[in-house]
Amino acid sequence: MSTFTSALPIGKVLHSTINTEAVASASGLNQRPFGFGSASARSAAPAIEPAALRRHAQIVRFCDVEADLDLLIDRAIAAIADGEPIEDEILGHYVHIASLVRAVSFREGKLLEQAVERLAKANPNITVLTQSLKLPLVKAALEAVSGNDWQSLDGVKLDCEAPAKGSYTPDLIVVNRARHTAYILDVKRSLASYGDTSRLEELKMKMMASAMVLPDWLYKHHKRMMVDTVEVAIVDGASRPSDHTTGIWALCEIDDLLEIDGVAACMAQLRLRFGRRVQQLLEAEARKALGVVAMAISDTAPAAAIVANPLIALNGPSRAYEEEQAMVAPHDDDGHYDLGCFDEDHDEEPEPVRIRVGFARRPRRH
């Protein structure tokens, strides 16, 4: 294990009359070699474009990337529509709708990754890695992250070829060559499903452990690429309230990760257009399903009968709840509540039994 400490080179990313980098330095907002995403700016870039109000030197406008983003949307929609659902007795004619919804959840995340990669090209200092990103989870890194505060690991770098326990594949690795900074990004369409589970903490652990070996991994596997700062960020596509101290970034703040004005606005427009196409697809499939159901109903029963009996009496036409309880109540002499089996006379030590475990098999016939 080797350690190093390096200062983050100061880059000229703001074109304004206020030296915000000096303000950030005076406020103690210094970047660390390892940490959660902590770019110099902490909020989304404004929509105003005058140079004096710009946050970053680079800018991207939707009109310049509209064709490319529309092509990504078309591919995502085509992949969603091409899916072949498996028949389901419960979902019936609506299985196609359920299949589309599941495909949307997967394809939206991929779409966001591809869009970030495309928009990052507006900054010539940034390289986005998307292929073969299998980072080893080195045992020493996992132990260090689980047993220490993240801040105390500042400056620690580990060998990527050391003994590992599995691997982690991030969605994107963004390398800012001018700053010698690498970001490990995990882009989620929404973090709503992570709220009450431990999956989010497990994801952070993997990302932080990977960050400790990333400098060595980049140098050995990506043409001697060198970085002295690694930060991790989980990007929430739904742009819920972020928490940079724990690595959570809203999609609307991505301008500051890429140091490009206008990326968040382009991503918002992308999600809007993708949402419209998805809803059109779902509506068309829903109409098909309802048409099949309507045909089945018309063939089996007249419409007047369906309207006349809109509700189903689960307890029968005239049976009350009390009557149901009386029917299912056990008789006094049925022995269901006989506790005689727990008498002290029968309290003996059980004989040893050989327990066999294995996969379930059909019972043998006698």
- pLDDT recorded at residue 299: 60
Measured from the Cβ of residue 266, the count of other Cβ atoms closer than 10 Å reads 25
User: Could you count the other beta carbons within 10 Å of the beta carbon of residue 66?
Assistant: 14
pLDDT value for 17 = 33
Using one digit for the tens of pLDDT, what is the confidence trace for 13-47?
A: 333 333 434 434 444 434 456 677 655 444 444 44
pLDDT higher than 90, residue 274: yes
pLDDT of amino acid 10: 36
Q: What percent of the chain has pLDDT over 70?
A: 68
At 366, the pLDDT band (50, 70, 90 cuts) reads low
Q: What pLDDT score was predicted for residue 136?
A: 94
Rounded to whole angstroms, what are the CA distances from 193 to 105, 212, 236, 247? 12, 28, 11, 17
Asked if residue 208 has pLDDT above 50, the reply is: yes
What number is the average pLDDT over the span 58-79?
95
The pLDDT value given to residue 224: 87
Point out which residues pair with 2 in neighbouring strands: 157
Residue range 138-188, pLDDT digits in tens: 999 999 998 888 778 887 888 999 999 999 999 999 999 999 999 999 999
Say yes or no to pLDDT of 197 above 80. Answer: no
Is residue 290 over pLDDT 60? Answer: yes
Average pLDDT over residues 186-203: 85
d(CA 229, CA 88): 50
pLDDT at residue 65 greater than cutoff 80 = yes
As a whole number of angstroms, the distance between CA 216 and CA 211 comes to 10
pLDDT confidence of residue 171: 95
pLDDT at position 22: 40
Residue 1 pLDDT class (50, 70, 90 cuts): very low
Q: Which one-letter amino acid corresponds to residue 316?
A: G
Tokens of 350: 């059980």
Q: How far apart are CA 87 and CA 90, in angstroms?
A: 9
pLDDT, one tens digit per residue, over 70-114 is 999 999 999 999 877 888 888 888 888 888 999 998 899 999 999
Give the phi and the psi of residue 330 in degrees, each rounded to 5. Answer: -70, 150
* Between residues 291 and 305, the one the model is more confident about: 291
CA angle 12, 234, 231 (to 5 degrees): 45
- CA dist 288 and 282 (Å) reads 10
In this structure, of 52-56, 127-131, 272-276, the range with the lowest mean pLDDT score is: 52-56
**DSSP helix/strand/coil, 156:** strand
- Beta-bridged to residue 36, according to DSSP, are 232
> What's the mean pLDDT in 261-290?
93
pTM here is 0.69
- The predicted pLDDT at position 85 comes to 80
Helix, strand, coil shares, percent, the chain, to 5? 45, 15, 40
* Share of residues in the chain with pLDDT > 90 (%): 43
Q: Please compute the mean of the pLDDT values over residues 184-196 and round it to a whole number.
A: 86
Characterize the bridge pairing of strands 229-236 and 248-250: parallel
Mean per-residue pLDDT for 358-366?
Answer: 72
Residues forming beta bridges with residue 181, ordered by sequence position: 176, 229
DSSP H or E stretch at residue 200: helix 199-221
- CA distance readout (Å), 252 to 14, 183, 232, 237, 326: 19, 17, 17, 8, 60
Cβ-contact 79, 103 below 8 angstroms: yes
- Residues 213 and 141: their CA atoms lie apart, in Å, by 8
What is the chain's mean pLDDT, rounded? Answer: 77
CA distances from 339 to 10, 272, 330, 344 (A): 79, 65, 15, 11
* More confidently predicted of 8 and 171: 171
For 220-271, how does the pLDDT look when each residue is reduced to its tens digit (9 = 90+)?
Answer: 998 889 998 999 999 999 888 888 988 999 999 999 999 999 999 999 999 9
| Confidence band for 118, pLDDT divided at 50, 70 and 90 | very high
- Cα(284)–Cα(272) distance, integer angstroms: 19
Q: Which residues of 169-180 are buried (b: 16+ CB within 10 A; e: fewer)?
A: ebbbbbbbeebb
- 295: Cβ–Cβ under 8 A, 6 or more apart, which residues? none
pLDDT of 44 reads 42
Q: How far apart are CA 61 and CA 48, in angstroms?
A: 12
Give the helix/strand (H/E) hosting 167.
strand 164-168
Q: Is the model's pLDDT at 213 over the cut of 80?
A: yes
Per-residue confidence (pLDDT) for residue 360, from 0 to 100: 74
- Of residues 304 and 349, the one with the higher pLDDT is 349
Both tokens of 70, joined, read 């529309």
Long-range contacts (CB closer than 8 Å, 24 or more residues apart) made by 320-325? none
